[in-house]
Structure 1
Amino acid sequence: MNTLAITGLFSPLGRRMARLASNFGVRVLGIDIKPLTKPFPGVEFVQADIRNPLLQQLFKSEQVDTVLHCAFRWRQRHHEEIFDSNVMGTMRLLGAAELAGVRKVVIPSSTFVYGADPNNPAFLDEGREFRGPVDYAYVRELREIELFVNGYRRQQPEMIITVLRFANILGGGIPSPMSRYMALPGPPTLLGFDPMLQFLHHEDALRALGHCLMGDYNGVYNVAAPDPLPLLKALRLAGLHPLPVPHVCAYKGTRLSRVLSRRGDGLPPLPWDYLRYSWVADTTRMREELGFQPMYDAETTLRQFGETLREYRYKHDPAYRLAREKWDLVRKAPARLHDTRRRAHAAWVAFRQVTQDEGGAA
């Protein structure tokens, strides 16, 4: 790999991958629509839109041979400009890469494309039909991107195009829908439903991307940590207290949805079906063909995420900090009461001993 171009340089994945690649001596060309506000050591920065027709000339002049596409923008509501940036931007990026002679393109995606459905098999392989709900912008746009990439790969078999369908990434400041769902004051759950879910530590997501940049893996691969866990157990491992909601209210209660949504746009971070039905991806190809194995299992990932979330809230949320301090006082109250009783009893025994000694002396 001579020159690595990273689109979406200021995204959490793009920023971390740029640092890692530069630390390994790779020449990194960072591309982002946002301006560079402070120095980024080891990265040559270009402020540009990936839809710019001059992107082909940039790739050719800088002799880019590998592209990591991290410019996807996660949104729940549909916005024409964001749709154009995510979907049309990916199309134009692949076109520019082909004309410039780029050898390899790596694209992060998500297992959200499969959808959560009562008829889903126990494990969803990479050839499974997409059933993700199109009313959520990020699901619809990931589906559109992958459908285009699948067709483009057949037209350009000489180009290596790797798509990694990540499970729910937690930690590292990556704004995945699952991390935003778990960051709600009371993550809602549907009464009577406890679907199996998969998770992925943010460091393992970076390792998987680096693994694909260093090797040649043409195709689509599911990436998830072992083992799948029920939703309620996952919330307990993260130290979170769920808010049970009747599914009728969840689906039909628009007002309730607006209260539960952090963005205030009437949609919770996750589609309700993803909290109702299982959507577990098959990771056989990840292990056998990609040759990748996550370092962190799901339980460790959830515990670390919960600790990080509580630390963040304690530092930045005065209401949470006050509630936590009051709760700690309440939790320690029985031990303090027991200690007070023990001291009082000891003082009373000592007092009686003194009075008995004085009476005997008299």
Structure 2
Amino acid sequence: KVPSVRRVVVKSSTGVYGSASRDPAVFDETTPPKALPSGGFAKDVVEVEGYARGFARRRPDVSVTVLRFAHVLGPTVDSPMSGYFALPVLPTVLGYDPRLQFVHEDDALDVLRRTAGEPVRGTYNAGTFNIAGDGVLLLSQCARRLGRPTVPILLPALRWGGSLLRSAGVTDFSPEQIRMLTHGRVVRTAQMRELLGFAPRYTTADVLDAFARSRPPGLLPPKGVGRAVDRVAARIAPGGSRVGNEEEPQHHG
């Protein structure tokens, strides 16, 4: 017991909620997961959060903050998601187009610094907070913005191929990552704004665009991909009606 310790900040992940077919449309900080993670990074963060709650009970004099980050991306981030998006061709799960949220690495550092200090007047920085940029992107939209072609694969085949890629050290296609690429995950960020008083500078779309600028260009120009998709959609639309560009879905915490 160190009396000088007054504040503990835990960098956690929205991975604690898992990714499953019966998940709610949006998770808030009190939503329990449908099934606890059975392994991998998600199981680790669940255990770490358990230790943090135990510490908070034993040391009520210490302010404990748990920050659950969506996928962090940026020029210097090396993660399973950044490795996946760096692939020249993105394997996807046939029949699924998951919703994703991102946090820019600069926003992640800013909120960690903010919660490590004394709270700003009118805010409260003890407790658990979801951290994500505004908005939501579908995986198909991410691929278009990155200029990466996608290859839809049956889920059993993707699991088998993913294990090969993981064994070869190409990218992390763990079962957890494949569940994310199947079902996705979206979190509510109202507490981040209203209690913590933090507003990320980058939206989810901004984060992906900044990530794209920091990496080699994809095989296909993003605008060209969009035009090609729109032309195909126009041809197969009922009655030959023209289909306009897709709109980015917006999610407000």
TM-score (norm 1): 0.55
Match of 1:277 among 157, 179, 183: 183
The amino acid of 2:126's aligned partner reads N
Give distance in 2, aligned partners of 1:292 and 1:233: 27
Higher relative contact order (Cα pairs below 8 Å, separated by 6+ residues):
2
Show the counterpart of 2:216.
310
Instruction: Give 1:265 shift.
Output: 9.1
The amino acid of 1:133's aligned partner reads P
Give the 4+ runs in structure 1 shifted more than 6 A.
Answer: none
Q: Does 1:114 align with 2:17?
A: yes
Percent identity, aligned pairs only, is 34
Q: Is the 8 A contact 1:160 1:218 kept in 2?
A: yes
* Distance change (3 Å), C-alpha of 1:173 and 1:267: closer
SS in 1 for 2:183: coil
Instruction: Give 1:134 shift.
Output: 2.2
Q: Does 1:133 align with 2:41?
A: no
Show the counterpart of 2:239.
none
Show the counterpart of 1:157.
60
Show the counterpart of 1:185.
88
Q: Is the 8 A contact 1:240 1:306 kept in 2?
A: no
Instruction: Give 1:192 shift.
Output: 0.6
Q: Does 1:147 align with 2:55?
A: no
Show the counterpart of 1:316.
none
Instruction: Give 1:223 shift.
Output: 0.4
* Distance change (3 Å), C-alpha of 1:223 and 1:266: closer
Q: Does 1:228 align with 2:133?
A: no
Q: Is the 8 A contact 1:118 1:278 kept in 2?
A: no
Match of 2:148 among 228, 240, 245: 240
Over residues 225-246 of structure 1, what are the superposed CA-to-partner deviations in whole Å (9 max), with x where a residue is unaligned?
0101111112211222223211
CA RMSD of aligned residues (A): 2.5
Instruction: Give 1:295 shift.
Output: 0.6
Match of 2:72 among 152, 169, 188: 169
Give distance in 2, aligned partners of 1:307 and 1:214: 33
Give distance in 2, aligned partners of 1:265 and 1:134: 23
Show the counterpart of 2:110.
207
Matches within 5 A, 1:309-328: 309-310=215-216
- Total equivalences in the alignment: 215
The amino acid of 2:26's aligned partner reads F
* Distance change (3 Å), C-alpha of 1:235 and 1:307: same
* Distance change (3 Å), C-alpha of 1:307 and 1:259: farther
Instruction: Give 1:155 shift.
Output: 2.2
Instruction: Give 1:286 shift.
Output: 0.4
Q: Is the 8 A contact 1:286 1:292 kept in 2?
A: yes
Matches within 5 A, 1:334-353: none
Q: Is the 8 A contact 2:100 2:138 kept in 1?
A: yes
Instruction: Give 1:100 shift.
Output: 4.8
Q: Is the 8 A contact 1:197 1:231 kept in 2?
A: yes
Give distance in 1, aligned partners of 2:117 and 2:203: 24
Instruction: Give 1:172 shift.
Output: 3.5
Q: Is the 8 A contact 2:9 2:65 kept in 1?
A: yes
Give distance in 1, aligned partners of 2:167 and 2:149: 17
Q: Is the 8 A contact 2:66 2:129 kept in 1?
A: yes
The amino acid of 1:293's aligned partner reads A
Give distance in 2, aligned partners of 1:154 and 1:263: 44
Give distance in 1, aligned partners of 2:75 and 2:63: 28
Show the counterpart of 2:163.
258
TM-score (norm 2): 0.77
* Distance change (3 Å), C-alpha of 1:267 and 1:208: closer
Unaligned stretches of 5+ residues in structure 2: 120-124, 225-253
